[in-house]
Amino acid sequence: MTTENKTMLRLAKVQDSHLKDKSVVVRVDYNVPMKDGVIKDDTRIRETLKTVKYLLDANCKVVLMAHLGRPKGKADPKYTLAPVAPHLEKLAGVKVHFASDCVGPEAAKAVKAAKNGEIVLLENLRYHAEEEKNDEAFARGLAAHGEFFVQEAFGALHRAHSSTAAIAKFLPGAIGFLVQKELEYLDKAMVSPVRPFVAIIGGAKVSDKIDVLYSLIDKVDTVIIGGGMAYTFLAAQQTNIGKSLLEADKVEEARKIIMKAFKKNVEMLLPADHVVVKEIKPDAAKEVTQSMAIGDGWIGVDIGPRTEMLFVDKIKAAKTVFWNGPVGIFETPAFAGGSIAVAKAMAEATRNGATTILGGGDTLSVLKTAGVKTAQISHCSTGGGASLEFIEGKMLPGLVALSQK
């Protein structure tokens, strides 16, 4: 059996593959926030457990490969995956062997030492520059660890790397339960959403979200824009933004997006008031503007109370909501009010029966700041960039590699 997503690719599912007693190489996304060797958020690890346990129940030897951070093609203890092994061992309840490399003798030794029904976690793929070059020889070395390949790293699907793309040339493969869930939620929201459909797009830069905004305007009823990128949109409407973040070279692009929304009869909501400061520091004196204009010398750091009410009401009335990007500098508690309000509104919309989808690491962090559990949202995507590119309609290399002709 196969599954089809909107990119018209035919993809085998792990549960429809005959894997009993086999060695299975699984690409996971364990690019988790870590400080001093302590995992700060294990969401991405826990999200892979359904697939990992399914394989363990089939008496497979499970060989996990992942990346962490940007070690720039060489071994760097700052980016070791070693702390993940004992954490995963507790979660999975089976022995986890850690390999000090992902290819070569040390990796082969660790894989050989593991028994069926156990896990091997390979060291950071990006310790080798070949990984990001989609090098086939490197991919062949990874493939040598097993007889079958499972793609479970949704957050890496938009990268044509050895462990996501080239490896599929050397092993038969399928997508795991997490990737299936990601595709099903995103596909349903973008192809046949229950309306009204509201998208909240935030974050610092317009340049990161241009393509997804163009795509969303063809699908949604309302698009809400917040965060640093909102000031470029306000500038496009000749609104004074003071010293707020501005991408001057994207003002014309923002104007085109506004015009497309107008022509498509899609409601576009921009901040109607703002929390502003003279300088960005935690103890800065704050003021709230009386309009969407920001005075000279002031910097917008969060949406204001009227905007908060406007955004929250729109979210709570929606039947489908997609959110990517905070609406203020949420890392600073004094500037986190708007983003927290959006997170709580998302949870309330879910309780009211809406399908709510959240994507992006920063957006997930807002949930934690707001005290909203991931279970209170219909679906929290583990891949911000991949989810955006999927919505844009781009072909994801990690899926294309596995597609059945």
Query: Of 95, 205, 255, 306, which residue is the catalytic one?
Result: 205
Tell me the C-alpha distance between 319 and 334, whole Å. 31
Tell me the C-alpha distance between 91 and 103, whole Å. 25
Please identify which residue in the block is written with the tokens 């089976």: 94
Structure tokens at 382: 């583990």
Query: Of 202, 328, 361, 383, which residue is the catalytic one?
Result: 361
Q: Is 174 helix (H, G, I), strand (E, B) or coil?
A: strand
3-state secondary structure 268-293: EECCCCEEEECCCCCCCCCEECCCCC
Structure tokens at 299: 């910097």
Structure tokens at 379: 């679906």
**Active-site residue flag, 44:** yes
**Active-site residue flag, 205:** yes
Tell me the C-alpha distance between 119 and 134, whole Å. 25
Query: Of 69, 73, 117, 385, which residue is the catalytic one?
Result: 385
Quick check: bond before 282 cis, omega within 30?
no
H-helix or E-strand spanning residue 331: none
Cα within 13 Å of Cα(92), Cβ side: 29
Q: Is 314 helix (H, G, I), strand (E, B) or coil?
A: helix
Query: Of 44, 209, 219, 314, which residue is the catalytic one?
Result: 44
Q: Is 266 helix (H, G, I), strand (E, B) or coil?
A: coil
Q: Which residues are catalytic?
A: 44, 205, 361, 385
